[in-house]
Amino acid sequence: MIQREFADKAKTILEPDDNVIGLAVAGSWLTNEIDEFSDLDLILVTQQKISGNKSLMIDYARKIGDFLSGFTGEHVGEPRVLICLYDNPLLHVDIKFLTLNEFHTRIETPHLLLDKGGQLEKAINSSFAKFPYPDYQWIEDRFWTWIHYALLKIGRGEYLEAYDFMGFLRMAVLGPLLHIKNGNLPRGVRKVEADLDNDSLASLKRTIPAYERQSLLDSLKNAVSLYRQLRTELFNNKVSMQSKTESKVMNYFDEIMK
What's the pLDDT at 38? Answer: 92
What's the pLDDT at 76? Answer: 84
What's the pLDDT at 182? Answer: 98
What's the pLDDT at 30? Answer: 84
Q: List where CATH 1.20.120.330 sits in the chain.
A: 136-257
What's the pLDDT at 5? Answer: 96
Q: List where CATH 3.30.460.10 sits in the chain.
A: 2-125
**pLDDT < 50 stretches in the chain:** none
Looking at CATH, the fold of the domain delimited by 2-125 is given as Beta Polymerase; domain 2 (3.30.460)
Backbone torsion region of residue 128, taken as left when φ is above 0, otherwise alpha when ψ lies between -120 and 50, otherwise beta:
beta
Global pTM?
0.87
Contact 70, 57 (CB under 8 A): yes
The Cα–Cα gap between 1 and 9 comes to: 13
In CATH, 136-257 is 1.20.120.330: yes
What's the pLDDT at 68? Answer: 98
- The residues, any chain, with a CB within 8 Å of residue 125's CB and separated by 6 or more, are none
